Amino acid sequence: MAQILNIDNISVSYGSIRALSDVSMNVNEGDIVSLIGANGAGKSTLLNAIVGLVPLKGGSITFAGEKICQAKHHMHSLSTDLIARRGIALVPEGRHVFADMTVEENLDMGAFTVRDQALIEKRKQEMYDFFPILGARRKQKTRSLSGGEQQMMAIARALMSAPRLLLLDEPGLGLAPLIVQDIFSKIKIINEENKVTVFLVEQNARLALKSSSYGYVLENGKIVLQDEGMALLDNDMVKKAYLGA
C-alpha cells in the first residue's frame, strides 16, 4: 500500500527544550494509524509540525510524494494554508471551535479552501446527514453545544475541505465513554466509507489501538515502539504503561 505521509527523522524544539528528537513514521493511504504516549510526550507537537504550525529543527515531512516541511530549507516548506489545500485537515486538541459563531458558520470556516458555493452547500448537507444533531442545531451558537456535539462539529468542520488525510488530536478528551465510542464509530465510517486516511492521537490507548491498523508509542519526544495495533495491545510494555494491566 502506498505511503501518503512520511515523517523522516524530524526534530522540534521550543527554545532550549527539545520536544521531538529524530522521529520517523509512515502512514499508508487508507489506514487508521494511532500515536499514543503520556502527556507531554510530544504528540500534539508532532501533529502541529505536520501542518506547518511549528518549524522543524531537523528532518522533513512528505505528503503524497511532495515535501511539505523541511528543516534546512524553510523557503521550500509550505505554509499551513497551502498544506491544507494539499489535502490535510487537523482537528486540534480541545476542539478550538468558534464559540460565538453558529454551527453552520463554523462549517463555512472549514471550507475556506473551496470557492464553489454550491459544493460548500452540498458538503454542509452531507455533514448534517452524517451528524444529525448538527443539522438540528445548525443555527445555534456553538457555545451552546455539549462537549460531544462540539467534537462532532470540529470533525465536520475539518471534513468540509474533503481532506485525504485527517489528523485527530485527542478526539475523546473530556467526553463521557458512550460519547467517545460514538465518536470513534464515526471515525471508522469516515475512514472506510469516505476513504479518508486517519492519523490519530488519543489518550485512550486501548480504544485507539483497537481502531488502528498500525500504532506508534512516543515517549519523551522519541518513538520507542511501533507495530500493528492489535500487536501493541498485547505488548507487555504497552499494557503496563498505558492499559493499566
Question: Are 12 and 78 found together in one domain?
Answer: yes
Which CATH number goes with the domain that contains 189?
3.40.50.300
User: For helices 147-159 and 177-192, what crossing angle results, to 10°?
Assistant: 10
Question: Are 154 and 170 found together in one domain?
Answer: no
Question: Does residue 92 belong to any structural domain of this protein?
Answer: no
DSSP assignment of 5-53 equals: EEEEEEEEEETTEEEEEEEEEEEETT-EEEEE--TTSSHHHHHHHHTTS
Question: Are 12 and 81 found together in one domain?
Answer: yes
Question: Does residue 194 belong to any structural domain of this protein?
Answer: yes
Question: Does residue 226 belong to any structural domain of this protein?
Answer: yes
CB atoms inside a 10 Å sphere around CB 210: 14
Q: How far apart are the first and last CA of the chain?
A: 33
Q: How is residue 135 written as a grid cell?
A: 443539522
Residue after which a domain boundary falls, among 113, 146, 162:
162
Residue after which a domain boundary falls, among 162, 188, 205:
162
Instruction: Write out pLDDT tens, residues 21-58.
Output: 999 999 999 999 999 999 889 999 999 999 999 999 99
What is the rounded distance in angstroms from the CA atom of residue 191 to the CA atom of residue 194?
Answer: 6
Question: Are 82 and 173 found together in one domain?
Answer: yes
What is the rounded distance in angstroms from the CA atom of residue 127 to the CA atom of residue 134?
Answer: 8
Q: Looking at residue 185, what is its pLDDT? A: 95
When mean pLDDT is compared across 72-81, 100-109, 217-226, 228-237, the lowest value belongs to 72-81
- Residue 180 domain boundaries: 3-87+163-242
Residue after which a domain boundary falls, among 138, 162, 186:
162
Q: Is the pTM of this model over 0.85?
A: yes
When pLDDT is cut at 50, 70 and 90, the band that residue 113 belongs to is: confident
Question: Are 154 and 180 found together in one domain?
Answer: no
Q: Which of 189, 123, 178 is nearest to 146 (CA)?
A: 178
Question: Are 15 and 32 found together in one domain?
Answer: yes
